[in-house]
């Protein structure tokens, strides 16, 4: 099948010519071609979008004067560092949430996750729990973990909940948290200084952040679909001190810093270090992340101060 109604194919050299014709300075042409061999043109287009002329409520094709390919690549490379660091620090948070939820549901019953009557009301209304259970059973069937094989051989495959949480991805864990009895939800949320509805909203928001990182999406200037529920002012002064749009990336990263601190996971220096590496690009300052200009001094969550 021939794709007739699409843009014409361009060689790497032709892509460089197009950028130059639209006003971008590319420097050494051979190096520019090498850059486009390394990073797909359409991936980079998300990073040069802010450099394009504003035409009404849309962006035109031409670039503002002073736009340089080096600045675009610097933003791309910063974003890659930010994604890698964010994915890294989310991992211990996910493990802590698994441990706490498995422990608290285990208090209810070792197989509470398999019986909606032992869970909260959300598990007994609609088809959400049934859908979750089907997904969970698929994960069990394709798992190659030794502990799954052990339970299959000895107990017919019925994993106790403290083991079952280990086969769940972040989304499945979030849904199970939502199905848990409120007492179990509260116990997990208490461990990090939140209320249950707040923690659930944070888990849902950070699942999207995690997926963005895992699939190499643009993160640094993203506007996120889910805005987290926040504690009332005065409960957590270090959180109150962060003045940001919580749907922007810096707000979402602040949630991560908070959870790292409250779960005492010892990983609170990595994200600030990456943020300090933000490139000096006048047209796209660090405020495009949602961070205030003085982001590194506004809160102990970002300064590391007690």
Per residue in 43-52, pLDDT tens? 999 999 999 9
Q: What is the pLDDT of residue 52?
A: 95
Q: How far is CA 213 from the centre of its chain?
A: 6
Q: What is the pLDDT of residue 152?
A: 59
pLDDT category of residue 156 using cuts at 50, 70 and 90 = low
Whether residue 300 is found in the same domain as residue 201:
yes
What 3-state DSSP class applies to 257? helix
Examine the pLDDT at 293 and tell me if it is beyond 70.
yes
Assess contact for 180 and 202: CB atoms under 8 A. no
Across residues 24-29, what is the average pLDDT?
96
Whether residue 185 is found in the same domain as residue 203:
no
Q: How far apart are CA 120 and CA 125, in angstroms?
A: 10
Across residues 78-102, what is the average pLDDT?
97
Whether residue 247 is found in the same domain as residue 177:
no
Q: How far apart are CA 153 and CA 150, in angstroms?
A: 5
Q: What is the pLDDT of residue 141?
A: 81
What 3-state DSSP class applies to 248? strand
Examine the pLDDT at 237 and tell me if it is beyond 90.
yes
Whether residue 253 is found in the same domain as residue 285:
yes
Examine the pLDDT at 276 and tell me if it is beyond 70.
yes
Whether residue 155 is found in the same domain as residue 227:
no
Q: What is the pLDDT of residue 149?
A: 54
Out of 5-9, 279-283, 294-298, least confident range: 5-9
Q: What is the pLDDT of residue 151?
A: 54
pLDDT category of residue 248 using cuts at 50, 70 and 90 = very high
pLDDT category of residue 139 using cuts at 50, 70 and 90 = confident
Question: What stretches of 109-156 show up as alpha helix (H) in DSSP?
Answer: 128-142, 146-155
Examine the pLDDT at 1 and tell me if it is beyond 80.
no
Q: What is the pLDDT of residue 54?
A: 87
Assess contact for 188 and 100: CB atoms under 8 A. yes
Is 70 within a domain? Answer: no
Is 2 within a domain? Answer: no
Q: What is the pLDDT of residue 266?
A: 85
Domain-ending residue, one of 138, 166, 191: 191
Whether residue 214 is found in the same domain as residue 257:
yes
Whether residue 226 is found in the same domain as residue 133:
no
Is 43 within a domain? Answer: no
Is 258 within a domain? Answer: yes
Query: In which residue are the tokens 């859908």 written?
Result: 131
Q: What is the mean pLDDT of the chain?
A: 92
Across residues 87-104, what is the average pLDDT?
97
Q: What is the pLDDT of residue 147?
A: 53
Whether residue 252 is found in the same domain as residue 180:
no
- 57 against 153, higher pLDDT: 57
Alpha-carbon dihedral angle through residues 295, 299, 300, 305, given to the nearest 10 degrees: 70
Whether residue 102 is found in the same domain as residue 160:
yes
Whether residue 155 is found in the same domain as residue 214:
no
Domain-ending residue, one of 167, 191, 215: 191
Is 19 within a domain? Answer: no
Is 42 within a domain? Answer: no
27 conformational bin, left if phi > 0, alpha if psi -120 to 50, beta if neither: left
Percent of the chain topping pLDDT 90: 83
Percent of the chain topping pLDDT 70: 92
Sign of the CA dihedral with 284 first, then 287, 293, and 298 last: negative
Is 41 within a domain? Answer: no
Residues of the domain holding 160: 97-191
Is 179 within a domain? Answer: yes
Q: How many domains does the chain have?
A: 2
Q: What is the pLDDT of residue 158?
A: 81
Whether residue 105 is found in the same domain as residue 173:
yes
Domain-ending residue, one of 146, 165, 191: 191
Whether residue 261 is found in the same domain as residue 209:
yes
């Amino acid at each position: 099948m021939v794709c007739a109604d699409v843009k014409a194919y361009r060689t790497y050299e032709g892509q460089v010519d197009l950028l130059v014709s639209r006003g971008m300075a590319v420097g050494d042409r051979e190096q520019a071609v090498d850059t486009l061999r390394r990073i797909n043109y359409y991936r980079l287009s998300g990073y040069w979008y802010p450099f394009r002329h504003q035409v009404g409520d849309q962006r035109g094709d031409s670039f503002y004067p002073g736009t340089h390919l080096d600045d675009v690549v610097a933003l791309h490379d910063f974003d890659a560092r930010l994604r890698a660091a964010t994915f890294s620090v989310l991992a211990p948070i996910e493990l802590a949430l698994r441990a706490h939820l498995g422990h608290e549901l285990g208090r209810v019953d070792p197989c509470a996750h398999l019986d909606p009557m032992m869970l909260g009301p959300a598990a007994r209304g609609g088809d959400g729990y049934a859908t979750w259970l089907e997904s969970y059973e698929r994960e069990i069937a394709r798992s190659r973990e030794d502990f799954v094989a052990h339970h299959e051989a000895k107990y017919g495959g019925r994993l106790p909940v403290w083991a079952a949480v280990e086969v769940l991805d972040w989304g499945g864990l979030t849904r199970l948290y939502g199905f848990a009895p409120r007492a179990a939800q509260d116990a997990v949320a208490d461990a990090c200084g939140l209320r249950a509805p707040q923690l659930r909203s944070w888990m849902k928001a950070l699942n999207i952040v995690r997926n963005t990182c895992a699939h190499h999406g643009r993160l640094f200037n993203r506007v996120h679909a889910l805005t987290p529920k926040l504690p009332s002012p005065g409960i957590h002064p270090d959180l109150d001190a962060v003045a940001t749009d919580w749907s922007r990336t810096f707000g979402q990263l602040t949630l991560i810093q908070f959870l790292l601190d409250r779960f005492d996971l010892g990983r609170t220096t990595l994200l600030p270090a990456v943020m300090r590496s933000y490139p000096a690009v006048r047209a796209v300052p660090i405020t495009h992340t949602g961070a205030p200009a003085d982001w590194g001094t506004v809160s102990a969550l970002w300064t590391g101060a007690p």
